[in-house]
Amino acid sequence: ETGVTQSPTHLIKTRGQQVTLRCSSQSGHNTVSWYQQALGQGPQFIFQYYREEENGRGNFPPRFSGLQFPNYSSELNVNALELDDSALYLCASSLGLAGPHPNYNEQFFGPGTRLTVL
């Protein structure tokens, strides 16, 4: 069973540029979530995709966008990069849609992409 993988491992961009981060879900998982973890902070939820549709979003501006593909891999796109976008970006996958009990689906995290904006 293959775990969650992310690419690239590290990335350096300049303010104003655009970036695309990639995530491959754990085998069989159809739900992907993205989190931003600034230095010294806990992760913050960006959004979640289920079966290629965004089904939940955190408090992030529209320049943070995503895609999920038919094989359930996912991309996070960030436009007009700002210095504060420098962070570790984590992807997590799970099976199925969350919901009230007993619909608990454990999320499995990838190792993250470290983005530095200069």
Partner 1 sequence: AQTVTQSQPEMSVQEAETVTLSCTYDTSESDYYLFWYKQPPSRQMILVIRQEAYKQQNATENRFSVNFQKAAKSFSLKISDSQLGDAAMYFCAYRSAGLYYDKIIFGKGTRLHILP
Give the residues lining the site for partner 1 (CB under 8 A): 31, 33, 35, 40-45, 48, 50, 55-56, 58, 88, 90, 92, 94, 97-101, 104-107, 109-112
Shortest distance, position 86 Cβ to partner 1, whole Å: 15
Shortest distance, position 98 Cβ to partner 1, whole Å: 5
| Bond from prior residue into 102 cis (ω within 30 degrees of 0) | yes
Dihedral (Cα; 59, 73, 85, 61), 10-degree rounding: -30
Cα gap 35→47, rounded to integer Å: 7
Q: Which is nearer to partner 1, 13 or 98 (CB)?
A: 98
Q: Which is nearer to partner 1, 3 or 16 (CB)?
A: 3
